[in-house]
Amino acid sequence: MDLTVIFRLAIALALGLIIGMERGWNTRQSPPGMRLAGVRSFGFVGLLGGLSATLADLFDSSILAVALLGFTLIVGVSFVLTAKENTKFGVTTELALLVTFSLGALAGKGLTWEALSISVVTAVLLGFKEELHKYLNYLERQELIATLQLLLIAVVALPLLPDRAMGPWNALNPRAIWLLVSLIAGISYVGYFAMKILGTRVGLLATAALGALVSSTAVTVSFGRIARREQQNFALLGAGISLAAGTMAVRILVEVTLINPALLPRLVPPIGCLAIVPLLAALAIATRLSEKVEPIEKMELKNPIELGSALIYGVIIAVLFVGIRAMESWFGDAGIYALSALSGITDVDAVSLSLAEATKGSLPPAVGTTGILIAAMVNTVVKAILATAIGGWQLAKWCASILLISLGLSVLAMFFIHVNIS
């Protein structure tokens, strides 16, 4: 007895039952004779696919192709007969049957866990019909296009780009650059649609946290405008700005972890100060205040998942890649730090990811982490200045002071790490 074959066939049967459970539940109210297939039928189809693949391996490879063709004809005939009795029909179940057969064949070929995983995803996709339709009705045309563009950026374009160094100082790796662009776009995508789905009226602090996934600077500007216009709720608005700044720091840690986790021992303590202090302060303020306030101004967060935005980000990162090598060559470490400071005025993602990637090559980890820290610190100062300039001193005392305290602790942590690691 070949236990391997039995195991593969058992998986083929199991994946058919998984998909069949969803299809059976979805069509449970259908009258007798109007259901093309239920849980048992799907189980048998999965098993049939597994048996066909097994027989193909044992006897003739053409058996699998013939079985698939024959099964497709059977499904097609069943669909035609069912359609004659039902004016409302679709092809979802028929396609699910063909997918189940194919997955069963994969399991029969030995790709058991891959087939089982895909079957779970298929069942989930089938089960979320109502939610998907609701989402499509909610989705605007430009957002649909932007979503497709993100897939184009991350799934289609990325594998096609060369994975080698080129250009001035051999600083440009097209695939590495585009990977960073995809990462930034992906994180911003999550934040943008979270804001869109939940809305800006989910609560001030929730709005700040979600908005910071797109742009913490946009949160600062938006809340500063609310404070200036309403002349009230300065504490909670300041807490929101602090929360956005802390979320920005957490975002940097996530990005660096995905690109070069070896930098974390140097980076976590000082960046942690930029994150923990504002987050704890925001929590303390929110829990002490009894009033509830929501931003009444819709936050202006630009959809970042556009092809044009991605190309701009790609150019920025490419310039930073070359700039890092050039400044290091011309001015040494001081050049890197100056470039980081300038970049931190407007954006921390591009320079943080660029430096994290550069440390995988010739750039010393100490220099790369210091550059990331400088960019984050400069950006923190910029937020404090924006909050003061837009919202006034009443707002500034609730957030600028918190940001500056976190900045001071971060500087101390940076020097402590430098002394102990060096």
The SS3 assignment for 166 reads strand
Lowest mean pLDDT among 161-165, 182-186, 192-196: 192-196
Handedness of CA 153, 157, 162, 167 (dihedral sign): negative
Tell which phi-psi region holds residue 135, choosing left (phi > 0), alpha (psi between -120 and 50) or beta.
Answer: alpha
Mean pLDDT for 223-227 is: 79
Residues in the chain: 422
pLDDT digits (tens, 9 = 90+) for 253-290: 988 898 888 888 888 899 999 999 988 888 888 777 64
Best CA proximity match to 320, nearest among 294, 298, 341:
341
Beta strands in 125-266 (DSSP E): none
- Residue found by looking up tokens 């030995």 in the block: 110
pLDDT at 3: 81
pLDDT at 49: 93
CA distance 126 to 118: 12
CA distance 185 to 187: 6
Handedness of CA 182, 309, 360, 246 (dihedral sign): negative
CA distance 12 to 256: 40
pLDDT at 107: 92
Most confident of 9-13, 183-187, 293-297: 9-13
Per residue, the 3-state secondary structure of 25-90, as one string, reads HHCCCCCCCCCCCCHHHHHHHHHHHHHHHHHHHHCCCHHHHHHHHHHHHHHHHHHHHHHHHCCCCC
Q: What is the mean pLDDT of the chain?
A: 79
Best CA proximity match to 51, nearest among 14, 5, 95, 115:
5
Contacts 24+ apart (CB under 8 A), 345-351: 345/378, 345/379, 345/382, 346/217, 347/316, 347/379, 348/248, 348/252, 348/375, 348/376, 348/379, 349/184, 349/251, 349/252, 349/255, 350/180, 350/184, 350/313, 350/316, 350/317, 350/320, 351/320, 351/375
pTM of the model: 0.62
**Model confidence at 302: pLDDT above 60:** no
Confidence band of 296 (pLDDT split at 50, 70, 90): very low
- Environment class of 196 (CB within 10 Å of its CB; exposed 0-12, middle 13-18, buried 19+): middle
Mean pLDDT for 166-193 is: 71
Bridge partners of 166?
172
Mean pLDDT for 388-396 is: 84
Best CA proximity match to 106, nearest among 45, 67, 47, 53:
53
CA distance 422 to 419: 5
Confidence band of 187 (pLDDT split at 50, 70, 90): low
Confidence band of 13 (pLDDT split at 50, 70, 90): very high
Q: What are phi and psi of 172, to 5 degrees?
A: -105, 120
**Model confidence at 56: pLDDT above 70:** yes
C-beta of residue 68 within 8 angstroms of C-beta of residue 102? yes
Q: What is the 8-class DSSP label of residue 263?
A: G
- Pick 186 or 265 by higher pLDDT: 265
Mean pLDDT for 192-214 is: 67
The upper half-sphere exposure of residue 35, i.e. CA atoms within 13 Å in the direction of its Cβ, equals: 17
Mean pLDDT for 118-133 is: 80
- Pick 304 or 375 by higher pLDDT: 375
pLDDT at 31: 54
pLDDT at 104: 92
Mean pLDDT for 356-368 is: 84
C-beta of residue 238 within 8 angstroms of C-beta of residue 399? yes
pLDDT at 301: 52
- Pick 377 or 419 by higher pLDDT: 377
Confidence band of 10 (pLDDT split at 50, 70, 90): very high
Confidence band of 325 (pLDDT split at 50, 70, 90): confident
Lowest mean pLDDT among 96-105, 110-119, 211-220, 357-366: 211-220
Structure tokens at 244: 């956005």
pLDDT at 179: 75
Compute the 3-state secondary structure of the chain and give helix, strand, coil in percent, each to the nearest 5.
80, 0, 20
- Pick 287 or 410 by higher pLDDT: 410
**Model confidence at 298: pLDDT above 60:** no
